[in-house]
Amino acid sequence: MSTVVAVACAVGTAVCFNLAMYFNKKAVAGLPRVSLRQREKGVLKAFLANRLMHRFLAFGLAGAALYVVAISMAPVSIVQPIVSSGVVLLAYLAIKNLGERPRRIDYLAIGLNVTGVILLGVSLAEGLPKDIEHDPALLWTCVGVVVGLAVLVPFLTRGRTGNRQAAALGISIGLLYGIASVFARLMVVDWGNRWSESGVLVIFSSVYLLGWLCTFVPAIVTLQAAFQRGMAVVVAPIFAGLAQLVPIAVGMIALKEPLPESAVLTALRFTGFAFILCGTIILSRRAEEASPAGPVDANPAQAPGVDST
């Protein structure tokens, strides 16, 4: 019975998360442009006052609550593939209601990303270790590399516009969300280890909380910028795939999480990595040829969530 409830919660999570993304994408078209150099007055106030953004926040929080319930009652290998497949709902809504028209090769790339995430979820069938013994030097090296790439990718695509720029920002979002997930896991473990000594103060004294905030908040801001510049069916599969790939890769490198004992699960994991990377590359390279579904910026992005206008 618990598995049935977990599956139902996972389906609910998928629906809520992707409805949140849909309302987010719909809202940003009429909101002030997210930009660093062009500091429009009242940008934050406009976002917070927008009713569609209220729906984005409501569905996002509901999805997060359902995800916690689902993951507490069933393995990640069951929950994550269901949640990840929900991007199909976003694609449907974007095509039907937002007028987005991806090319055939974009559909292939979306399929690769979704399949890759599902394979990663299945590869976790043996579970993850409850205790984390991480190497601090490796961990912070991985953090530096991932965050550095999140900043570098939009810079390297300067001069591109529309969906090409949005795809670059989508890569940044996925990298930032992924490393935020690593910080979240370390934060929860840190809280558990120090709760008996520090009590509720441990929530605010963990360095991992600061790391989570410094990656999660920029990812949310960058998401707004990406949706203002290109199609949801380009941006969402990119960041959804990378947001799953990064925690597993960093876990293997810095958190001493072993590969699955099963050779089949190991093969599925690396196949999932390959599918996500291929899908991301295709969407990034072909995105500029697809029809943009939002305002097109003629100036390049200089950093995640930032352009030169």
Please tell me the predicted confidence (pLDDT) of residue 190: 77
Please tell me the predicted confidence (pLDDT) of residue 267: 94
Please tell me the predicted confidence (pLDDT) of residue 296: 39
- 21 neighbors 90 (Cβ within 8 angstroms): yes
Mean pLDDT over the full length of the chain: 81
Please tell me the predicted confidence (pLDDT) of residue 174: 92
Please tell me the predicted confidence (pLDDT) of residue 123: 86
Please tell me the predicted confidence (pLDDT) of residue 128: 67
Please tell me the predicted confidence (pLDDT) of residue 121: 82
Please tell me the predicted confidence (pLDDT) of residue 18: 92
- 240 neighbors 113 (Cβ within 8 angstroms): yes
Q: Is 129 helix (H, G, I), strand (E, B) or coil?
A: coil
Choose among 248, 255, 298: nearest CA to 273: 248
Q: How far is CA 72 from the centre of its chain?
A: 21
- Round to whole Å and give the CA distance between 117 and 128: 16
Please tell me the predicted confidence (pLDDT) of residue 192: 73
Give the pLDDT means over successive 10-residue stretches in the chain (309 positions).
Answer: 82 92 90 67 80 93 89 73 82 86 84 88 76 80 94 81 83 93 82 71 79 92 89 88 87 83 91 91 66 40 43
Please tell me the predicted confidence (pLDDT) of residue 309: 38
Q: Judge if pTM exceeds 0.85.
A: no
Choose among 108, 253, 228, 209: nearest CA to 165: 228
Choose among 1, 3, 9, 127: nearest CA to 68: 9
- Round to whole Å and give the CA distance between 245 and 185: 15
- Name the one residue in this structure whose structure tokens are 């490393």: 179
pLDDT tens by residue, 235-248: 988 888 888 889 88
